[in-house]
């Protein structure tokens, strides 16, 4: 295939240019297969540290490592061709210093081939975001409810329920934008605050539990496909794949037990004499 016919990925500048225009579509992805299926429909795919909870069964995202993020980032890059791929920097990989963040972010970009990293944190992380952005590492921010800070929040709690908290959250979003982030995830933020932040920022906001007033939306793919018993308020289920998988596996188990699988059509015939 010639270079002229190769499909080009969505770029960081293209995402940034979508501010105030057509909504940005995103989902999480952790595997080559899920990336391959979602790729034609998404502007960017996020290899979220939520992989720790969704794939590895952890109760929080805190045990996730850089090596885990690289492994899943590589898989998503192999499975996708169109969407920008953004990889989360896990807890403990960037908070110590801008230099630590650069070391781990540069490793993630070089070993996965992804287009950007995502960092949680507000004003306290602005120096780090600036340090990375000035050195050629595109950064997506994340404020509001921050899963890596779940212990400080006392759980996964909606942000901005009290207007007295708004200046802090607005200040966090503004500081990350001014530091050089190309977009920012708003998670678990009440609608009027999310709308205000979206109006005030010059970069796109990506909502998850932050209303349709944001410049784009992201969901955990497994949530919207119907895996798991718990359904967060902000999730709309577009399928029930867990039930379909269970039924298919039940059917398979029954066929094995009755020796109806494998049948003749699934069996290699004896060699001709």
Q: Which residues contact 103 (CB under 8 A, 6 or more apart)?
A: none
Which among 154, 20, 34 has a CA at the least distance from the CA of 85? 34
Q: Which helix (H) or strand (E) holds 169?
A: helix 166-179
Is pLDDT at 134 greater than 60 in this prediction? yes
Query: How does the average pLDDT of the chain come out, rounded?
Result: 93
The pLDDT assigned to 1 comes to 41
Is 88 among the annotated ligand-binding positions?
Answer: yes
* 194: confidence class by pLDDT, cuts 50, 70, 90: very high
In tens, the pLDDT along 237-262 reads: 999 999 999 999 999 999 999 999 99
**Six token digits for residue 262:** 């494998």
Residue 249, phi-psi category: left (phi > 0), alpha (psi -120 to 50), beta (remainder) = alpha
Q: What angle, 0 to 180 degrees and rounded to 10, lies between the N-to-C axes of helices 98-112 and 66-79?
A: 30
Residue 120 is assigned to a ligand binding site: yes
pTM of structure? 0.93
Q: Is 164 left (phi over 0), alpha (psi -120 to 50) or beta?
A: alpha
| Exposure class string for 237-268: b at 16+ Cβ within 10 A, else e | eeeebeeeeeeeeeeeeeeeeeeeeeeeeeee
Is 118 annotated to bind ligand?
yes
Mean pLDDT of 35-56: 97
The whole-number average pLDDT for the span 104-129 is 97
Catalytic residues: 187
165 is in an annotated binding site: no
Share of the chain above pLDDT 70, in %: 93
* Residues 173-187: tens digit of each pLDDT: 999 999 999 999 999
Cβ-contact 232, 209 below 8 angstroms: yes
**19-to-139, 145, 203, 238, 247 alpha-carbon distances in Å:** 16, 22, 6, 26, 43
Q: Measured in Å, how far apart are the chain's first and last C-alpha atoms?
A: 45
Which helix (H) or strand (E) segment holds residue 78: the answer is helix 66-79
- Annotated domain spans of the chain: 3-240
Q: Does domain 3-240 have CATH number 3.20.20.60?
A: yes
Provide the residue count of the chain. 273
**Residues in contact with 109: Cβ distance below 8 Å, sequence separation at least 6, in sequence order:** 117, 137
Looking at residue 86, what is its pLDDT? 98
Q: Cα separation of 234 and 8, whole Å?
A: 32
Structure tokens at 204: 């796109």
Question: What is residue 142's three-state secondary structure?
Answer: strand
User: Residue 150: pLDDT band by 50, 70, 90 thresholds?
Assistant: low
Is the model's pLDDT at 263 over the cut of 90?
yes
Residues 23, 26, 28: CA angle, nearest 5 degrees: 165
Confidence of residue 2 (pLDDT cuts 50, 70, 90): very low
What is the widest separation between alpha-carbon atoms in the chain? 85
So what's the pLDDT on residue 142? 97
50 annotated ligand binder: yes
CA 20 to chain centre: 21
Q: What does the pLDDT read at residue 137?
A: 98
Where does the pLDDT of residue 154 fall: very low under 50, low under 70, confident under 90, or very high at 90 and above?
low
* No. of helices (H) and no. of strands (E), the chain: 11, 8
Taking the alpha carbons of 113, 39, 140, 58 in that order, is the dihedral positive or negative? Answer: negative
Dihedral sign (CA 211, 9, 175, 61)? positive
């Amino acid at each position: 295939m010639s270079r002229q016919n190769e499909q080009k990925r969505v770029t960081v500048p293209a995402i940034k240019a979508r501010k105030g225009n057509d909504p940005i579509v995103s989902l999480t992805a952790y595997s080559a297969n899920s990336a391959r299926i979602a790729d034609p429909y998404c502007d960017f795919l996020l290899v979220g540290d939520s992989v720790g909870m969704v794939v590895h069964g952890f109760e929080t995202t805190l045990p996730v490592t850089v090596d885990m993020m690289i492994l899943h980032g590589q898989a998503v890059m192999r499975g996708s061709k169109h969407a920008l791929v953004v990889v989360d920097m896990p807890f403990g990989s960037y908070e110590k210093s801008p230099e630590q963040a650069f070391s781990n972010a540069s490793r993630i970009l070089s070993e996965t081939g992804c287009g950007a990293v995502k960092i949680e944190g507000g004003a306290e992380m602005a120096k780090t975001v600036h340090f990375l952005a000035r050195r050629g590492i595109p950064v997506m921010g994340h404020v509001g409810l921050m899963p890596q800070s779940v212990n400080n929040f006392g759980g996964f709690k909606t942000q901005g329920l009290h207007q007295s908290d708004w200046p802090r959250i607005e200040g966090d979003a503004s500081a990350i934008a001014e530091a050089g982030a190309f977009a920012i995830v708003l998670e678990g933020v009440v609608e009027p605050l999310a709308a205000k932040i979206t109006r005030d920022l010059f970069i796109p906001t990506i909502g998850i539990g932050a209303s349709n007033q944001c410049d784009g939306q992201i969901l955990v793919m497994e949530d919207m496909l119907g895996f798991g018993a718990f359904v967060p308020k902000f999730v709309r289920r577009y399928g029930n794949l867990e039930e379909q998988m269970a039924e298919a596996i039940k059917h398979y188990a029954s066929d094995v037990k009755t020796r109806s699988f494998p049948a003749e059509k699934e069996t290699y015939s004896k060699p001709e004499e």
